[in-house]
């Protein structure tokens, strides 16, 4: 079983509005991301929603995701992700070899083909427990991580993000070359959004 975790606890301060609620094509960014994961065959998609963006919860549920609504704001993305991992652990008891996709909200351009490629490559390379997509030699998102790494992430010293942990796992990280530049796409500013919107058919313009 493959899981996906989308942390939606940030404040989108540089965007000026909740980034996951922005329109993208005929859906919102969040609905687009969840649909891509479901199309790729991910069995359980969890969206962790911060208390300041409660409007994301019905969007996530309507798109077919489970929702964990936090009652208090988290200090950073790592804390938001840890809440989600705990929720998944309590309900599914994933074995060490179960895979989960870390899908940061600032990298919403998910491609079902990329996700399937990651899952296939990881299955064909048992010596690796982390898989990341690369485009033209640059690492992108999402990362596919074995559940065995969750304990190590929780043991990180305070103040360190999950990227710090993943950088320590180079020996067991499989780089998977893909043809989709979307694995590198950020969504932090209105300019980022316009670039993403322009690449999506029938996407409306950013409202004033």
* Residue 62 · residue 31 · CB < 8 Å: yes
Domain assignment present for residue 156? The answer is: yes
Which band of pLDDT confidence, cut at 50, 70 and 90, is reported for residue 16? low
Percentage of the chain lying above the pLDDT 90 cut? 62
Non-local (6+) Cβ contacts of 180 within 8 A are 109, 111, 113, 114, 133, 135
Domain assignment present for residue 208? The answer is: no
Domain assignment present for residue 204? The answer is: no
Phi/psi at 98 (nearest 5 deg)?
A: -65, 145
Domain assignment present for residue 203? The answer is: no
Domain assignment present for residue 94? The answer is: yes
How far CA 118 is from CA of 33, 100, 106, 115, 134, in Å, comes to 16, 11, 19, 5, 10
For residue 196, pLDDT beyond 90: no
Domain assignment present for residue 206? The answer is: no
For residue 202, pLDDT beyond 50: no
Domain assignment present for residue 184? The answer is: yes
Q: What share of the chain is helix, strand, coil (3-state, %, to 5)?
A: 40, 20, 40
Q: What is the mean pLDDT of residues 171-181?
A: 96
- Number of domains composing the chain: 1
Residue 57's CATH number: 3.90.550.10
- Residue 79: domain span: 2-198
Question: In a 10 Å sphere around its CB, with 0-12 CB exposed, 13-18 middle and 19+ buried, how is residue 38 labelled?
Answer: middle
- The pLDDT mean for the chain works out to 88
Domain assignment present for residue 207? The answer is: no
């Amino acid at each position: 079983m493959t899981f996906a975790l989308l942390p939606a606890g940030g404040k989108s301060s540089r965007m000026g509005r909740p980034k996951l609620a922005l329109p993208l094509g005929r859906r919102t960014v969040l609905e687009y991301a969840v649909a891509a994961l479901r199309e790729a065959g991910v069995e359980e998609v969890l969206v962790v929603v911060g208390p300041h963006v409660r409007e994301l919860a019905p969007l996530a549920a309507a798109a077919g995701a489970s929702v964990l609504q936090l009652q208090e704001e988290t200090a950073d993305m790592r804390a938001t992700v840890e809440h989600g991992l705990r929720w998944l652990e309590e309900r599914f008891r994933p074995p060490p070899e179960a895979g989960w996709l870390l899908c940061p909200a600032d990298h919403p351009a998910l491609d079902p083909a990329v996700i399937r490629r990651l899952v296939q490559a990881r299955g064909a390379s048992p010596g690796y427990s982390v898989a990341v997509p690369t485009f033209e030699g640059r690492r992108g998102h999402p990362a596919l991580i074995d559940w065995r790494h969750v304990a190590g992430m929780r043991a990180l010293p305070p103040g360190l993000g999950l990227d710090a942990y993943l950088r320590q796992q180079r020996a067991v990280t499989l780089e998977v070359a893909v043809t989709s530049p979307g694995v590198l796409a950020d969504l932090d500013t209105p300019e980022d959004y316009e670039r993403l919107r322009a690449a999506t058919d029938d996407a409306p313009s950013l409202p004033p």
